[in-house]
Structure 1
Amino acid sequence: MTYIIGMVSQKGGVGKSTLARMMVREFVSGGMTAKIADLDTQQQTCTNWAGRRAENGVTPELQVQSFASVKMALEDATRFDALILDGKPNASDQTLEIAQAADLVVIPSGQTVDDLHPGVVLAHSLRKKGIAPEKISFAMFKTTGSDRENQAARQYLVDAGYTVLDGDVPVSTAYGSASDIGKAITETSFRTLNSRAAALAQSVIDKMAELQERQSA
């Protein structure tokens, strides 16, 4: 069975593609076959990142391919243990298609209401269109060093009725530097930053396993 994870967002710059790149790296490092379907044919953020990774000889090699539609991306799904659908950086008809195809929908969000509110609006919209709330989880990105702010952001999402994944990705130039040379955010030069990102990746995997167990029960 292929795990299908949809990365969606209400707006750009919240960490959607960064999360997709982290997950494909963690799946492959764990011995699984995985691929990113880059559905943003204009920006091709993940596709360009994969090119930088290849140019710099970063291992393991990761598969990323650009697709014009969700339907085309899904035709390739059975070849992999995990397929990560990286959508456009704004809500669209494609966003619903991704959510309908995915076993798990992940919405990255920062700590501020400017990020949290659009994410919740998107999640509510998906629910109104038939997406089960247990399929939707939030991932915390661009967190600060304030535990109070972090907990407040998480509580905002919980109060809205959604799961918040463990782990978080703090604000750090090291993550950007890693991305510039085709590395994922679990591949920086700093063990602590890698560990925090890895905790988020593991939480995604655990959530996937939980949902699969529910389906098979």
Structure 2
Amino acid sequence: MTGIIAVVSQKGGATKSSIARALSTAFAAAGWQTEIADMDIDQGTATAWQQRRLRANVEPTITVRQFGNPEQALSKASNCDMLIFDGAPKASKATAVMAKAADLVIIPTGVSLDDLEPAVALANALVDRDGVPVNRIVFALSLTGTSTLEVDEARTYLGKTRFDVLDGSIPKKTAFSRAHDAGLSLIETPFKGPREQAAQVISAAVARFEALTA
């Protein structure tokens, strides 16, 4: 049976695509036939990333396809072992469809209230309005700076909600943007420190998926 992970957010620029790409390479490296459903039909950033990856002959190969709606992607989910939704820049009715179909829903968020409050509002709506089980939704801290206090405060803020937060955080690093330019994911950057920071978050996400689908 195909595993499904949805990476969604209430606003753009929350590193949805970055996390979706990293997850795809993690599962593909473990032998899963993995596909990213790129739901951003206007920009198609995941699709463009895949083209750079193919031109650079980077392994493992990741399939990326654009879809106008999640139902189209779900109808073809049996063609792969793992389907990862890279959600559109803004939450919509399609977000609920993806979340309800997913084994795991990841909501990336920055550490300021401008990011945290919309992220929590989305998570609550997915549970209260759309019926997604609470334990299927997790937050991922991203775009963090050098302040450990700020990260700790964000984790404390989220700790007061009913949702879990993945271990670690994904910092804002040039190493990651350079990796994406080369068709690589967060966990494939040649720079050890940033790679290990990203891997902590991605490994926690994989572990959560495995626990939910065991």
Range class of TM-score, shorter chain: over 0.9
What's the counterpart of residue 139 of structure 1?
140
TM-score under structure 2 length normalisation: 0.96
State the alpha-carbon separation in 2 of the partners of residues 50 and 177 from structure 1: 14
Structure 2 match to 1:21: 21
Partner of 2:33: 33
CA-CA distance at 1:145 after TM superposition: 2.2
Whole-Å separation in 2 of the counterparts to 1:172 and 1:85 = 24
Cα offset, 1:160, TM superposition = 1.7
Which residue of structure 2 aligns with residue 179 of structure 1? 180
Q: Which string of whole-angstrom CA distances, capped at 9 and with x for unpartnered residues, describes residues 131-166 of structure 1? A: 111111001111122222111101111202210001
Q: Which amino acid aligns with 1:166?
A: D
Number of matched pairs: 213
List gaps (5 residues or longer) in structure 1: none
Q: Which amino acid aligns with 1:151?
A: D
Q: Structure 1 CA distance, aligned partners of 2:93 and 2:149?
A: 36
What residue identity is the alignment partner of 1:71? E
- The residue number in structure 1 matching 2:204 is 203
1:208, 1:183 → 2: CA distance? 23
Amino acid at match of 1:48: A
Residues 101-143 of structure 1, C-alpha deviations (whole Å, 9 max, x = no match)? 1111100001111111110011111111211111110011111
> Is 1:157 the equivalent of 2:146?
no
Aligned to 2:121: 121
2:204 maps to 1:191: no
In structure 1, what is the Cα distance between the partners aligned to 2:82 and 2:40?
19
State the match for 2:98 in structure 1. Answer: 98
Q: Supply the AA of the counterpart residue of 2:59.
A: T
SS at match of 1:211: helix
- Paired AA for residue 58 in structure 1: V
**1:101 and 1:74 mapped to 2: Cα distance?**
8
Distance (Å, rounded) in 2 between the aligned partners of 1:157 and 1:76: 35
The one-letter code sitting in structure 2 at the alignment partner of 1:138 is: F
Q: Equivalents in 1 of 2:123, 2:60: separation in Å?
A: 33
- Counterpart for residue 87 of structure 1: 87
Structure 2 residues without counterparts, runs of 5 or longer: none
Q: Distance in 1 between matches of 2:12 and 2:119?
A: 11
Query: Equivalent pairs: percent with the same residue?
Result: 40
For residues 24-71 of structure 1, the C-alpha deviation after alignment (integer angstroms, 9 at most, x for no partner) is 011011111111011111111101110111112222211111111111
* Secondary structure of the corresponding residue to residue 65 of structure 1: strand
In the other structure, the counterpart of 2:213 is: 212
Scaled by the length of structure 1, what TM-score is found? 0.95
Note the 1:67-78 alignment, pairs <5 A.
67-78=67-78
1:79 positional shift: 2.3
Report the aligned-residue RMSD. 1.1
1:5 aligned partner:
5
Paired letter, 1:19 = I
